[in-house]
Structure formats: structure tokens, C-alpha cells
Amino acid sequence: DPLLDMQGSLPEPGEPEEHAWLASAAQAVLGGSSAAKELTPARLSAVRLVLGLDHALREAKGRIMDLFAAENAGPKGQLELSEFLRGLARLGVVDSEFTEEILCLAISALDPCFDGLVSLPVLSRALKALRKNSDVAAAAGSARLFLGRQDAAMRRTYGEVASVDVVRLEFQAESIFKFDRSFAKFRDQQRELLDQHLRLAGPRLMQSV
């Protein structure tokens, strides 16, 4: 009995979870602002992880518990790092370059009580904190961000009308330069998409006036 081992005393409560920083950090990352460079490697990895999970949940239209049910061999909602990483790879959220070390960094920034097991309830609360900011939620939902490999079936352009190439964002925590360069391309792409949208919508808007 754990209480007997501790001579009847209750364990010290862990540090409280603090996810309020997530929305602003995600906004900085999605917007490619200079504030993203000031994030610690742990927080930057955490933002990328939560954004990737958010996308996977939107695609699956399910709960995080359901998404990782196949890998959850132990207590419900508690996964070994290898199990969670396997689930992320299956969902297309990460590639082989997203290692357990990077995952440890990300989880430690989200879960102050992280003991080597990934807690899905903690990640669920982190996702809720992210989605409290409607601007971030909308951007994350439309940007189709991944932490590595893109689905092989994904088209190379956004459509026949808006022939803008898909920009792959480099999500390696140790490669800030590549990450910044990818986001510069991403911002240019978004401007091009907006310009094409306005050109196409302009005549329709004029007709509706």
C-alpha cells in the first residue's frame, strides 16, 4: 500500500497544470511572429504537438481517447511514450524524425506531473486551452499543419482554381532556421491564396451589391 510506504502521510500535490500560454504561443507560431523564436524548445515542441493533435481530432471528428485506443494497452488514458509515438505516426501527425526525446520535451511543457507516461486527459485539457482562442482554432483548423510527414494522398495544390503549391512546414525542434524559412513560405502562400480568393470573389461581390 503506497500510504503504508509513506507512513500514512498523503503525497504532496503536483504542480498545477498551466496551459494559458498555449493559445498565444500557437498564435505566434501560426503567424510566424518573432515571439515564436523566444519559445523554449519544450514549449515550441508542445505547440507543434498540440496543433498536430488538434488537426487529427478535427479530421477524425472524435475524442482523443478514441484516437489512441489501439495503442492504449495499459491503464485507460495513460500511454507509454513508445505507444503514444506509434499512435502519432499512425495518424500521420509525426514522422521518424520526431523522436521520443522531442516528445518528452513537449509533454513536460504540458504536464508538470509527467512521469514517463503520456496522460491523454492532460492533453485533452491542453487542447481545450488552445481552442479557447477562436482565432487560433480557426487558423489551426484551416492551415492543415503536421509535425512531419504529409499524407501521401494529399494533393500537391490547394485546388484546380487556386493552384498554389502546398508548403511543408519543418517541425524539427532542433532546426529553427528551417522552421522559420518554412513559415516565411507559408505566409507568402497564404497571401497568394487570399489574393486569388479576392480576384475570384470580386465579381461576385460586385454583382451582389
pLDDT band at 42 (very low <50, low <70, confident <90, very high): very high
Domain layout of the chain by residue ranges: 17-208
**What element of type H or E holds 120?**
helix 120-131
Region of poorest pLDDT, from 38-52, 108-122, 142-156: 142-156
Residue 98 has pLDDT above 60, yes or no: yes
Residue 2 has pLDDT above 70, yes or no: no
Taken in order 129, 130, 131, 134, the sign of the CA dihedral is positive
pLDDT digits (tens, 9 = 90+) for 66-75: 999 999 999 9
pTM: 0.62
Q: Which residues contact 38 (CB under 8 A, 6 or more apart)?
A: none
DSSP state of 152: T
Taking Cα atoms as reference points, which of 116, 76, 77 lies closest to residue 100?
116
pLDDT band at 191 (very low <50, low <70, confident <90, very high): low
Residue 121 has pLDDT above 80, yes or no: yes
Q: Which residues contact 72 (CB under 8 A, 6 or more apart)?
A: 65, 78, 79, 83, 120
Region of poorest pLDDT, from 69-78, 103-112, 139-148: 139-148
Contact 140, 98 (CB under 8 A): no
